Amino acid sequence: MKFELLAPAGDFSKLKTALYFGADAVYVGGKQFSLRALAGNFTDEALAEAVGYTHRCGKKIYVTVNIFAKNGDLAAAERYFAFLESVGADAAIVSDPGLIFLAQNCAPRLPIHLSTQANTTNRLSAEFWAKTGVKRVVLARELSCGEIAEIHRHQPQLELEAFIHGAMCVSYSGRCLLSNYLSGRDGNRGACVQACRWKYEIRESGTDGAFLPIEEDGRGTYLLNSKDLNLIDYLPELAGAGVVSFKIEGRMKSEYYLATVVNAYRRAIDRFKRAGAEYRSDPLFREELKKTAHRDFTTAYFLGGNDSTINYENSQSAGTHRFTALVLSYDRERRRALVEMRNHFVCGDELEVLSPNDGSFNRHIRVNRLENEDGAPVTDAKRVQEKLWLYTDLPLACGDILRKREQA
């Protein structure tokens, strides 16, 4: 069976990164009707270009149209679905039943994937959506492996997609009302302010406003802050339950985040395909995922129950490494790479190579010689996006990333 690795792409640069590091498909949002309104997103012109680029790579591209629409949205949504069909998008990701009905009438050749926002949590809901003509259901994150398998047993023809990695909303399947209540920005229409990540205080009502203690194992006061989902150790279980698309969250995450996470899951999925029943997860995969921004990890509901999904420590992401430079080209004759500086590094530093082209993780190079584009020596790279020649015998490729371990 073919398993799809599905990655987010908040803009064109991130789309190219996700595909380069091994995604089989990407999901993107336009300037309208997307639940990540603060991501870069794609104009219609850019989206048409992105569809062409993705198809030339032999990959697929899905477009989110997952707001809950109001009457005033319908005319523009009708035009947008027709546009998506005309440019060849591989599917629209939709949550609103009215928009599904609209798309099926105005763009009948455009496949519909049901968004996780629709909260599909049981086999009868899956059957209902299958009968409406939905091709794929993006399952609610609250499902266990056994519950997913039961849905698949009853609807084997229905494609199932599940989130395997990334940030989680504290609200049920992302249907959050908190952002709208506190800030007037509706998370169900793409403008979430992530109020669940804020630090809250509790005061006693009817008194002088004295603080009340929060006793969660003495670890803090981040009552609404979810951990990050991480299911890289459970690929056989996901596949066995009938999941065909493994989805990474993060249309607002960085290129470096995408490269690191997509690369790790690509390698894990490929190993699983080769090994079959003999597959064993590699600790290197888990360590790789810690090298980019993340909160504490959880398997959430996948194993049954609730695996401590709330992060009481803090609301900040952290990684063990930082993005140092992007490789633009490699001159084999002179054994040097043209790189674009992203974070400070100096001669003498050891950098780690992140690339989809090598056979293993953790290749390193020592920065022994740097020059600017004019050939003048450089010892201290500190101008962001400056292009530099980095001399190395290790052949690098355009799109590879160099990173440096953060100081403890």
Q: For the chain, what's the residue count?
A: 408
156-170, 171-185, 236-250: the lowest-pLDDT one: 171-185
Tokens of 242: 């009938």
Q: How far apart are CA 45 and CA 37, in angstroms?
A: 17
Q: What is the pLDDT of residue 349?
A: 98
Last residue of a domain, one of 298, 313, 336: 298
- 15, 40 in Cβ contact below 8 A? no
Give residue 213's pLDDT band: very low, low, confident or very high (50, 70, 90).
low
Identify the three-state secondary structure at position 316.
Answer: coil
pLDDT digits (tens, 9 = 90+) for 217-235: 433 444 556 789 999 999 9
Q: How far apart are CA 306 and CA 319, in angstroms?
A: 25
pLDDT at residue 268 tops 80: yes
Residue 271 shares a structural domain with residue 326? no
Q: Report the CATH number that the domain containing residue 48 is assigned in CATH.
A: 3.20.20.70
Residue 271 shares a structural domain with residue 357? no
Pairing of the two strands 159-167 and 228-230 = antiparallel
At position 251, the amino acid (one-letter code) is R
Mean pLDDT of 90-112: 98
Element holding 7 (H helix, E strand): strand 4-8
pLDDT at residue 99 tops 70: yes
Mean pLDDT of 276-299: 91
Is 57 part of a structural domain of the chain? yes
pLDDT at residue 96 tops 60: yes
Residue 67 shares a structural domain with residue 135? yes
Question: From start to end of 140-296, where are the E strands?
Answer: 159-167, 228-230, 243-248
Average pLDDT, the chain: 89
Q: Report the CATH number that the domain containing residue 351 is assigned in CATH.
A: 2.40.30.10
Residue 126 shares a structural domain with residue 251? yes
Q: How far apart are CA 330 and CA 394, in angstroms?
A: 10
Is 219 part of a structural domain of the chain? no
3-state helix, strand, coil in the chain (%, to 5): 30, 25, 45
% of the chain surpassing 90 pLDDT: 72
71-75, 107-111, 176-180, 255-259: the lowest-pLDDT one: 176-180
Locate tokens 């997609």: which residue? Answer: 161
Mean pLDDT of 285-291: 95
pLDDT digits (tens, 9 = 90+) for 164-212: 999 887 655 565 666 666 677 766 556 677 766 666 666 666 556 666 5
The Cα-based distances of 375 to 317, 338, 348, 372, 387 in angstroms read 38, 12, 19, 5, 11
Pick the most confident of 10-19, 38-47, 274-283: 10-19
For residue 353, the enclosing domain spans 321-405
Q: What burial class does residue 142 get, using C-beta atoms within 10 Å of its C-beta: 0-12 exposed, 13-18 middle, 19+ buried?
A: middle
Q: Helix 44-56 to helix 12-20 angle, to the nearest 10 degrees?
A: 10
Residue 135 shares a structural domain with residue 91? yes
Locate tokens 């690098």: which residue? Answer: 396
pLDDT at residue 327 tops 90: yes
Is 303 part of a structural domain of the chain? no
Residue 275 shares a structural domain with residue 332? no
Q: Helix 12-20 to helix 255-275 angle, to the nearest 10 degrees?
A: 30
Give residue 30's pLDDT band: very low, low, confident or very high (50, 70, 90).
very high
Q: What is the pLDDT of residue 259?
A: 97
Give the torsion through C-alpha atoms of 406, 323, 4, 150, to 10 deg.
Answer: 30
Is 309 part of a structural domain of the chain? no
Is 38 part of a structural domain of the chain? yes
Is 62 part of a structural domain of the chain? yes
Q: What is the pLDDT of residue 1?
A: 64
pLDDT digits (tens, 9 = 90+) for 343-363: 999 999 999 999 999 776 779
Q: What is the pLDDT of residue 208?
A: 65
Is 169 part of a structural domain of the chain? yes
**How many domains does the chain divide into?**
2
% of the chain surpassing 70 pLDDT: 83
Q: How far apart are CA 314 and CA 9, in angstroms?
A: 27
Residue 269 shares a structural domain with residue 377? no
Q: How far apart are CA 174 and CA 187, in angstroms?
A: 9
Element holding 83 (H helix, E strand): helix 74-87
Q: How far apart are CA 53 and CA 90, in angstroms?
A: 13
Q: What is the pLDDT of residue 407?
A: 81
Q: Helix 145-154 to helix 123-131 angle, to the nearest 10 degrees?
A: 40
Task: Give the pTM.
Answer: 0.87
Residue 253 shares a structural domain with residue 399? no
Residue 330 shares a structural domain with residue 231? no
Is 58 part of a structural domain of the chain? yes
Q: How far apart are CA 28 and CA 32, in angstroms?
A: 11
Residue 396 shares a structural domain with residue 257? no
Last residue of a domain, one of 264, 298, 332: 298
Residue 65 shares a structural domain with residue 163? yes
Last residue of a domain, one of 298, 329, 358: 298
At position 25, the amino acid (one-letter code) is A
* Residue of 232, 219, 211 lying closest to 311 (CA atoms): 219
Mean pLDDT of 46-64: 98
Which residues, in sequence order, are CB contacts of 183 under 8 Å at separation 6+?
Answer: 193, 195
51-65, 111-125, 193-207: the lowest-pLDDT one: 193-207
Residue 247 shares a structural domain with residue 336? no
